[in-house]
Structure 1
Amino acid sequence: MSGAVIVLIHGAWAGPWVWDSIIDRLSTAGHRPYAVALPGVGNAIDPDVPITLEMLTDSVIADIAGFDGPLVIVGHSGGGVVATQVAERLHDHVAGVVFVAGMMLPSGRSFDDICADVELPSTVGITADLEFTAEGRISTVPVDVGSTVFFQRADPAAAADASRRLRPQQESARLITPTWTTTRYGSIPKLYIEALDDRSVPLSAQRRMQEISHGVEIFSLDSDHAPQLSATDELATVIANYSNRLCSVSLAP
């Protein structure tokens, strides 16, 4: 089949549903989108069994094992760290990586390190409003906070619905740091889609990650942290067009 396999990786507290709005649009553009479900999110998670980045990466790779064709790995928010690690592992099959207001981190550095670089407090974004259980090992986003921090530019009813769908998150699966090499992940084409009105991953942090990640294409969206809801058509078009370009290169004789 022509077109790319577009692997869509959600961020913390979310699920595959966060991509529902663009799935059909990507399919219509000739691609094969697939939204994965990461472990460590949900009402039944076990706080006594920590979920690691390696486990998250293994889960995604197992989910997409049956797909043929060039892969475009798309990570939203914290899903960007998982996208990075998947690309590192599957380097030979990955045509490109797309970060949607995502954590595009240097090897061995955390998002807290990026925030420190630009003098943002450790309580940036949603952090100060999280509710914790299991001795701090599981975090939950209050519904009203999700609407105002993640989805403030979306239709109010859609924002409220999305916020209600957020689930408890194991902290070990959220506070993750990538490890990658310049010859594998580092050599793969990348696109960073920045969200100009992001209250979760502030623009200064997004710009810092772009600054220290060489050779990355950048596209700006006038959206909140979740352009899947607030800039649906634009997001789908950008991902589809980038995948078209990557695919034409990957399939060239």
Structure 2
Amino acid sequence: MATQIVLVPGFWLGAWAWDDVAPLLVDRGYAVAPLTLPGLESSDSDRGEVTLDDHADSIAATLDRTAERRVLVVHSGAALPGTMVIDRHPDLVDHVVFVDTAPVRDGFAMDPEMARPEYPLEAAWEGEMAEGSMRDLDDEQLEAFRRRAVPQPGRTVSGQVHLSNPARVAVPGTVVCTAFPSADYRSYAEQGAGFLAGLLDHTGLTYVDLPTGHWPMWSRPAELADIIDQAARNVQLR
């Protein structure tokens, strides 16, 4: 079977987030699986009890055991369950692509103090805009984002990542650096940025610059597809 590429979006998003990227990869012969994580199917979904384990289990179940190779692409907050997957199943992921995000360390939580059952996009919108997260998105894209966004399950924001398998740090990966230059990602990790700390542990990472905002699947879809394609073609069978 062809190489499988599993596309996992970050907070508030479903498989639809990859609509501009997935066809470009299908055209290159890949078996592409854009994923909607549990609790993010619609605004009416039951999400109060959805955990990081549920998200990790969903990703692992999507990985095709019959594929010749498997590439896991995780964006933003999907790095948490994505890291859990390569910790639990390092043999199922031949390459992992981190899109403006990074592998995390054991015990990490996005916001351990958050107690609400869900985290809506509107609660973060002003901060995202002020910090430049929405760079290069036009008004139509911004409107579609707000209209289609689904509240993030609260327990996936407050929950801790639990890791135990050192084999995860040897899984080859590509870090797509959008928010700031690649040289800064590791520098910030060395300065104590918790969300980037895992970069200091992983031994097989390649850094690629793609200057844009936090949502390159919308602002630079062709360039992002090229990077994912390159990562997939460089996968070494193990």
- What TM bracket, shorter-length normalisation? 0.7 to 0.9
C-alpha distance in structure 2 between counterparts of 1:189 and 1:73, whole Å: 11
Q: Which residue of the partner structure matches residue 128 of structure 1? A: none
Gaps of 5+ in 2: 190-195
- Structure 1 residue 212 corresponds to structure 2 residue 200: yes
145, 150, 157: which one pairs with 1:162?
145
Q: Give SS of 1:217's match.
A: strand
Q: Give SS of 1:33's match.
A: strand
C-alpha distance in structure 2 between counterparts of 1:51 and 1:222, whole Å: 33
**How far does residue 10 in structure 1 lie from its aligned partner after superposition?**
1.2
Q: Which residue of the partner structure matches residue 68 of structure 2? A: 69
Q: Give SS of 1:40's match.
A: coil
Q: Give SS of 1:88's match.
A: helix
C-alpha distance in structure 2 between counterparts of 1:102 and 1:197, whole Å: 11
Amino acid across the alignment from 1:45? S
Two-structure CA RMSD over aligned residues (Å): 3.0
- Structure 1 residue 236 corresponds to structure 2 residue 219: no
Q: How does 1:170-181 map to 2 (within 5 A)?
A: 170-181=153-164
Query: Which region of structure 1 is more displaced relative to structure 2, 71-80 or 209-218?
Result: 209-218
Gaps of 5+ in 1: 114-121, 123-131
C-alpha distance in structure 1 between counterparts of 2:117 and 2:213, whole Å: 28
Distance 1:223 1:138, change over 3 A: same
Distance 1:9 1:164, change over 3 A: same
- Structure 1 residue 221 corresponds to structure 2 residue 205: no
**How far does residue 214 in structure 1 lie from its aligned partner after superposition?**
3.6
Whether the aligned pair in 2 keeps the contact of 1:78 and 1:103 (CA below 8 Å) is: no
C-alpha distance in structure 2 between counterparts of 1:61 and 1:242, whole Å: 20
C-alpha distance in structure 2 between counterparts of 1:205 and 1:77, whole Å: 16
Q: Which residue of the partner structure matches residue 116 of structure 1? A: none
**How far does residue 142 in structure 1 lie from its aligned partner after superposition?**
2.2
**How far does residue 91 in structure 1 lie from its aligned partner after superposition?**
1.5
Amino acid across the alignment from 1:164? R
Q: Which residue of the partner structure matches residue 110 of structure 1? A: 109
C-alpha distance in structure 2 between counterparts of 1:234 and 1:89, whole Å: 31
Distance 1:234 1:220, change over 3 A: same
C-alpha distance in structure 2 between counterparts of 1:181 and 1:162, whole Å: 36
Q: Give SS of 2:68's match.
A: coil
**How far does residue 107 in structure 1 lie from its aligned partner after superposition?**
2.1
Write out per-residue CA displacement over residues 63-88 of structure 1, whole angstroms, 9 at most, x where no aligned residue.
34565221111110001111111222
TM-score (norm 2): 0.81
**How far does residue 223 in structure 1 lie from its aligned partner after superposition?**
0.8
Distance 1:172 1:111, change over 3 A: closer
Q: How does 1:1-253 map to 2 (within 5 A)?
A: 1-2=1-2, 4-41=3-40, 42-46=42-46, 49-65=48-64, 67-111=66-110, 136-142=116-122, 145=125, 148=129, 150-181=133-164, 183-196=166-179, 207-208=188-189, 209=196, 211-215=199-203, 216-246=205-235, 249-250=236-237
Percent of residue pairs identical: 23
C-alpha distance in structure 2 between counterparts of 1:63 and 1:239, whole Å: 18
Q: Give SS of 1:68's match.
A: coil
Report how many aligned residue pairs link the two structures: 224
